[in-house]
Amino acid sequence: MANLFDWVNERAPNLAPTFRKHMTEYYAPKNFNLWYYFGSLAILVLVNQIVTGIFLTMNYKTSALEAFNSVEYIMRDVEWGWLIRYMHSTGASLFFVVVFLHMFRGIMYGSFKRPRELVWILGMLIFLVLMAEAFMGYVLPWGNMSFWGAKVIISLFGTIPYIGPGLVEWIMGDFLPADATLNRFFALHVIALPLVLLLLVVLHLAALHEVGSNNPDGVDVKHGPKGNRWDASKPLDAIPFHPYYTVKDLVGVGFFLLIAAFIIFFAPTFGGWFLEHDNFTPANNLVTPTHIKPSWYFTPFYAILRMIPSFFGTAIWGVIGMFGSILMLALLPWLDRGEVRSVRFRGMGYRIALAVLVISFLSLGAVGAGVTAELIPEWFPGADATTLENAFGRIMTLAYFGFFIFIWVYTHFGLEKTKPVPERVTMHD
């Protein structure tokens, strides 16, 4: 091994120092909590999706005639095919669970603020590509919800003035989602988008390592006292990423794998949330599912789309609202100009606004998933369910956008009363 290492080192002398720079010599704040697990978990899920995806591709048939049956074949006849598929489908949902929590951590601790704006923007690009990747993957089994989901989402582009209808036909390669659509989605899902995703994740981490990690106190450990036990030139409140955080992250991986295994082995469809019932029937352009709805992770954005009514004879406002809700997140570093990063030391207004953001996001998710449509007639018998749902959904849409407007006003006009931020992280053990 030593000889091999020397051999490589002679030919690529920068490799080992680069590795060291990002592991043993990457000093991270010592006060990371549970919320800091989700970055490494996102990498784990990404790797899972790529590996299981490769094995699925070995038996999947990219054709509107064969796709559905090839997936059934994977489930029933291919050795361990069911496991590979359930790992991939569960992985897709868990990817979003992990990424939503990862993003929320960033908002909670102000990790998007200077000097980490680039880390945040790259994260938002990852999020966009991830959504495209998940949407296209969902179309591949060519179930009935695959077909109608593709129809609804691609048709959104039809609301763009002038070029809309032509654009829809161009994206589909036909007048309906069809064989051509399936083939191009396969190409994008299996190779193009994963490559982009991998590249973005590398850039995301490179950008983070340029400036260093934030932490639950939002304190700049780099500006704090030096004199680290391992390297006196490094901050006192930081520890080497390897072995300390590699070992800590492994604990998170252990818990995460337990949960994932439980879902994969005992509840792979997760009651129709991770694999929808309507997708177990083949695509049929003559039979619309009773409730067309996207996978759960798209439902908050889908609810915004549905809750904004058409006016001036066009439905484009809903589409603008939906994309706008994602754009707002990307703009956070410029909307929130508060000096203090972590929610621990921010004003009461910010804390309340953050709670409103979470409540509105979850409520919109429930509206988009049809939960409110089911519950309202039960809870308010005799009431006009559609009117009530629209009222609720619209209030929640306003609350969601309200968060961003409030934060802008609150921090631009100096209305926030923050607590004093300590010099060092609050954990000194």
Number of residues that bind ligand HEM (CB under 6 A): 27
Per DSSP, 27 falls in state E
298 binds ligand HEM (CB under 6 A): no
Say whether residue 218 binds ligand HEM (CB under 6 A): no
Structure token digits, residue 27: 């000093």
Distance CA 129, CA 326 (A): 12
| Element (DSSP H or E) covering residue 30 | none
**Nearer residue to ligand HEM within complex by CB, 253 or 395:** 253
**Smallest gap, in angstroms, from Cβ of residue 126 to ligand HEM?**
4
Q: Which is nearer to ligand HEM, 87 or 126 (CB)?
A: 126
- Among the listed residues 48, 49, 146, 214, the single contact to ligand HEM using CB under 6 A: 214
Spatial distance between the Cα atoms of 255 and 405, rounded to a whole number of angstroms = 38
CA 53, 207, 40, 31: dihedral to nearest 10 degrees?
A: -170
Binding mask 94-113 for ligand HEM (x = CB under 6 A): -----x--xx--x--x-xx-
Beta carbon of residue 369, minimum distance to ligand HEM (angstroms, whole number)? 21
Q: Per-residue string for binding with ligand HEM, 61-100, x by CB under 6 A? A: --------------------------------------x-
Between 371 and 427, CB nearer to ligand HEM: 427
Q: Which own/partner pairs from 173-179 qualify as long-range (CB within 8 Å, at least 24 positions apart)?
A: 176/151, 176/285, 177/139, 177/147, 177/150, 177/151, 177/283, 178/64, 179/63, 179/64, 179/65
Q: How far is the CB of 115 from ligand HEM (least distance, A)?
A: 11
Query: Considering only CA atoms, which of 151, 207, 145, 196 is closest in space to residue 176?
Result: 151
Q: Which is nearer to ligand HEM, 119 or 396 (CB)?
A: 119
Interacting positions 352-381 with ligand HEM (CB under 6 A):
none
Closest approach of Cβ 255 to ligand HEM, in Å?
A: 15
Of 62-70, 158-166, 200-208, 392-400, the window that binds ligand HEM (rule: CB under 6 A) is 200-208
Paired residues of 143 in beta bridges: 282
Cis peptide before 115 (omega within 30 of 0): yes
Query: Which of residues 67 and 99 has its CB atom nearest to ligand HEM in the complex?
Result: 99
Q: Does position 318 bind ligand HEM by CB under 6 A?
A: no
Nearer to ligand HEM, 103 or 275 (CB): 103
DSSP state, 268? Answer: T
Q: Which tokens belong to 196?
A: 């982009």
Cβ at position 242, least distance to ligand HEM in Å: 13
- For ligand HEM, the closer CB: 99 or 319: 99
Structure tokens at 379: 């809870």
- Reported for 208-214, long-range contacts at CB under 8 A and 24+ positions apart, including other chains, are 208/116, 208/119, 209/21, 209/22, 209/26, 211/115, 211/116, 211/119, 212/27, 212/28, 213/28, 213/29, 213/32, 213/36, 214/29, 214/109, 214/110, 214/111, 214/116, 214/341
Pairwise CA distance, residues 341 & 216, whole Å: 9
**Least distance from C-beta 40 to ligand HEM, angstroms?**
5
Radius of gyration of the chain (CA): 24
Is 119 one of the binding residues for ligand HEM (CB under 6 A)?
yes
- Residues near 107 by beta carbon (within 8 Å), at least 6 away in sequence: 332, 354, 357
208 forms part of the interface with ligand HEM (CB under 6 A): yes
Smallest distance, Å, CB 260 to ligand HEM? Answer: 16
Query: What residue ranges bind ligand HEM (CB under 6 A)?
Result: 36, 38-40, 42-43, 46, 99, 102-103, 106, 109, 111-112, 116, 119-120, 123-124, 126-127, 201, 204-205, 208, 213-214
